[in-house]
Amino acid sequence: MSKEIERKYRVTYWSPEALGLLRTGELSVIYQGYMSRNPVKRVRLLWGQNGKYAEITEKGVGTIEREENTQRVNFPEGERLYAQCSYTVQKIRIRNGRYEFDFFLNKLAGLEVLEIELNSVEEQIALPAGLGVIEVTHDTNFRASFHNVHLSEQKSVSSLLGYNIIRETIRFSHMQPGIDATIERLKAVIGEKGFTVLAVAGPSSSGKGYFTRKIKEYFGDRAAVINLDDFFIGVTAMRARNIEHFDVHSAVDACAAAQKVAELVEGKDSVMVPDYDFKRGERAGEKKVTRPQDLLIIEGLYALYPPLETLADISVFIDVDVHGAFCRRIKRDFIGGRTSQRAAKVFEMYCCQVHPSRQRFVDFQRDFADFIVVNAMRPATEMSFNDEGAETQKKFLISGSGASSSRANNFLAVVLAVLNQEGFNEQKPDSPFHQSDTFYEAPSQHWFDKINEADKRGSGDELMRVRRTISASGKTLYQLAYKGPKDETNFLDRRRVMKLEILPCQRDYLSDYLGYRKIGEVEKFRRIFRSADSVLRVAIDVFIAVGGVWVEINGSNKGEVEALERKFIKAGLQENRFTDKSYFDLYILKELDKFLQSILNI
């Protein structure tokens, strides 16, 4: 057992001098959960400049002084114990010598507490100059409340203090209104005080860079940008400090960035900042940032962390749901060629590193923003590449419920004859295939719950699909796919946004890590035929359990698909048996019966 001796103060005011302590301190993010509140038994998860650790602490009773016993546990065990706790607190801690500044997060956002560690009860340590505080060490109204165990019970800061201290945030549902409002606010602030600092934070692929570019374009040479990406400490330093990956806040030196910003705020003509080389994963040297006339923009994942946010006149959080962020990230890193890593590795990194880090280290910054700008994904425009990436499909029903076997055989004979005449060859030795398609809905869409509404939009192609394919040659392939919305024609024109080969162990990652909801599954046997030039693919699909035999024409050239459809019709297939609906629409949304009823004599 050891003794904890400390004094607590609620911070009410920061002078520029006091803020300097934040820029020269050691920053960490702490998650605490209480396994027991009386007696106190706490599990703590800490991510700091020297990696992460987990510990369990038992505390005695007392005001300034109390007994405590702490032991380290492995991090997964700490995470497991934390997940079981009903009472938790989260905070950013900046330690500077014996001063510990705690910035509470989430439900307690806005609460700031200074703890000073003492060697004895009698020891006197001067408070930081220029810091406004209320001591809560001996105040019986506050002391019990300001133990972290009791803070964990609070529903909000107002329930603790009797009034709210967090700023009022304005939310914009689209990017352009957010940009316009930010520009107008900036013009007003610049007009009042001159040199102004704007901080822009948000998760990966939210659109922070786009937002920053638009603001910079408006102000032109009167503005400059400091990007927090340049303050990555680099692979070598990360290894030395046991920092596992780039999506942890400790991979970025936010305090050093804040020091450079502060020098410009204080009037320095220019500062030297790191110049980070993403290909090497190291800093390549330095570059100069000259103090602009009007506006300095700080942009990055952690731009609203205390050392930086306290320097900002206006703070903005760019938000996006998990579906939009995921699709953009995959498009950028894999499809867009930013990385040479295999698709399965990109997928794993997003699910196991990027998204969990967003939840732990990024999203709480919303509470420190003046403006929240929602930059929702626009699949019709964002997820298209070029004409070669467009995919057109058309389906023909060979046999459904009630169809005679002789008619089905006649239709199938027509299909095979046309394919032979046009030079199509079956994809041997792999064809036929056994395919199982599982469809997932993104957590923010809630689209499937609304499918019976009169104004429903979209189809199954708005969802994620995980396909398992077993070929006749014995190969098994797992593939993740997302295809954008239909166009306005009666063809199923879609954008081939993502088709990623993933590992068998990753088939449930969407639901396990990202919160997608499994909403349906279809299973079929498929024979695949390809044209000699591979422009067109024709599949003959036999559905298991739900029944039905279909022919699907697929190609990147809409004209080629139309031409082949006309040849099938000319050879004897009935035009009203063609449909633009997806298999998800037909079998998961139960629209097959409607289609069958529209066909005469089936």
Query: Where do we find the tokens 């879609």?
Result: 494
DSSP for 423-464 reads T-EE-TTT-SEEEEEEEEE-TTT--GGGTTSTT----GGGSE
Q: Given CATH 2.40.320.10, say whether it is the number of domain 387-597.
A: yes
pLDDT at 52: 95
Look up the CATH architecture of domain 170-377: 3-Layer(aba) Sandwich (3.40)
User: pLDDT category, 390, cuts 50, 70, 90?
Assistant: low
Q: What is the mean pLDDT of the chain?
A: 87
CA 41/CA 58 separation, integer angstroms: 4
Instruction: Work out the percent of the chain whose per-residue pLDDT is above 90.
Output: 62
Of 42-46, 67-71, 413-417, 482-486, which gets the smallest average pLDDT? 482-486
Residue owning tokens 């196991």: 352
What per-residue confidence (pLDDT) applies to 387?
A: 45
The residue type at 31: Y
Burial of 66 (0-12, 13-18, 19+ CB in 10 A): middle
Span of 114-123, 126-135, 573-582 with lowest mean pLDDT: 573-582
pLDDT band for position 480 (cuts 50, 70, 90): very high
Residues contacting 463, CB < 8 A, separation 6+: 439, 440, 441, 442, 447, 482, 519, 584
Residues 223 and 296 sit within 8 Å (Cβ to Cβ): yes
Q: What is the DSSP string of 247-262?
A: TSGGGB-HHHHHHHHH
pLDDT of res. 397? 86
pLDDT at 598: 63
pLDDT at 217: 98
Confidence of residue 497 (pLDDT cuts 50, 70, 90): low
Domain boundaries, the chain: 2-161, 170-377, 387-597
Task: Among 166-180, 194-208, 483-497, 529-543, name the one with the lowest average pLDDT.
Answer: 483-497
pLDDT, tens digit (0-9, with 9 covering 90-100), for 524-569: 999 999 999 988 999 999 988 777 889 999 888 888 988 999 999 9
Residue 61 confidence class, pLDDT cut points 50, 70, 90? confident
Give, as one character, the DSSP assignment of residue 292: P
User: CA-CA distances (angstroms) from residue 10 to 107, 110, 132?
Assistant: 17, 11, 8
Query: What is the predicted pLDDT for the residue at 137?
Result: 80
3-state helix, strand, coil in the chain (%, to 5): 35, 35, 35
Contact 522, 584 (CB under 8 A): yes
> Which of the four pLDDT bands, split at 50, 70 and 90, describes residue 594?
low
pLDDT level of residue 241 (50, 70, 90 thresholds): very high
255-269, 444-458, 508-522: which has the minimum mean pLDDT?
A: 444-458
Residue 7, pLDDT above cutoff 80:
yes
d(CA 117, CA 3): 11
The phi-psi region of residue 556 (left if phi > 0; otherwise alpha if psi is between -120 and 50; otherwise beta) is alpha
Least confident of 108-112, 205-209, 223-227, 580-584: 580-584
| Residues 310, 304: Cα–Cα separation, whole Å | 8
Tell me, what's the pLDDT at 142? 47
* 2-161 CATH: 2.40.320.10
Give yes or no on whether 2-161 and 170-377 have one common fold.
no
CA distances from 530 to 415, 474, 553 (A): 13, 20, 10
384 — pLDDT class (breaks 50, 70, 90): low
pTM of this structure:
0.88
Could you write out the DSSP letters of every residue in 115-175?
Answer: EEE-SSTT---PPPTTEEEEE-SS-TTTHHHHSHHHHTT-S-HHHHHSS--SPP-EEESSH
Q: Give the model's pLDDT for residue 386.
A: 46
* pLDDT tens digits along 432-471: 999 999 999 888 776 555 555 434 444 555 689 999 999 9
| CA–CA gap between residue 333 and residue 346 (Å, rounded) | 7
pLDDT at position 457 is 45
For residues 19-47, average pLDDT: 95
pLDDT of residue 63: 72
